[in-house]
């Protein structure tokens, strides 16, 4: 199973460098509106809006959802109020992504348990939370 916990910030006029400077955290990926990038398939794309994304690290793929949330909380604990008032941020949220690597997707089942500490950490950050399960 692959898991990540992300902070996502988007906005038409978002300046990713300014977000990095304010938060003191380097993003996993960021773009300004109009920036040209390359998709996973190799196609060139133009960003329709600005975005800044930070994600947890787990090279071995062994961390639980709770451990990812703990990483997120420890990285952003100093910025709780700031996260809710970033300049030109139209949307800021936490994205928890869980993907199974089951070869037979018809039988894939994903379960996770959030402990009280993780729920409290998410609450303290004060952002909407999106769970994506694949």
| CA-only gyration radius of the chain, Å | 16
- What is the share, in percent, of the chain residues with pLDDT greater than 90? 73
The Cα 13–Cα 10 span in angstroms is 9
Q: Can you give the pLDDT at residue 103? A: 59
pTM higher than 0.85: yes
Of the candidates 68, 60, 114, 59, which has an alpha carbon nearest to the alpha carbon of residue 95? 68
Q: Can you give the pLDDT at residue 107? A: 63
Q: Can you give the pLDDT at residue 109? A: 74
User: What's the total number of domains in the chain?
Assistant: 1
Domain that holds residue 65: 2-133
Q: Can you give the pLDDT at residue 69? A: 96
Q: Can you give the pLDDT at residue 14? A: 97
7-23 as b/e, with b when 16 or more CB fall inside 10 Å?
bbbbbeebbbeebeeeb
Low-confidence ranges of the chain (pLDDT < 70): 102-108
- Check: CB of residue 89 under 8 Å from CB of residue 54: no
């Amino acid at each position: 199973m692959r898991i990540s916990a992300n902070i996502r910030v988007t906005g038409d006029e978002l300046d990713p460098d300014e977000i990095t400077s304010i938060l003191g955290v380097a993003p996993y990926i960021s773009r300004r509106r109009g920036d040209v990038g390359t998709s996973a398939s190799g196609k060139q794309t133009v960003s329709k809006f600005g975005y800044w994304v930070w994600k947890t690290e787990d090279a071995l793929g062994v961390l639980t959802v709770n451990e990812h949330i703990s990483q997120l909380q420890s990285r952003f604990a100093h910025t709780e109020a700031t996260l809710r008032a970033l300049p030109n941020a139209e949307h800021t949220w936490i994205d928890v992504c869980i993907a199974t690597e089951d070869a037979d997707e018809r039988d894939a089942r994903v379960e996770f348990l959030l402990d009280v500490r993780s729920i409290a950490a998410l609450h303290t950050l004060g952002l909407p939370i999106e769970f994506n399960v694949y």
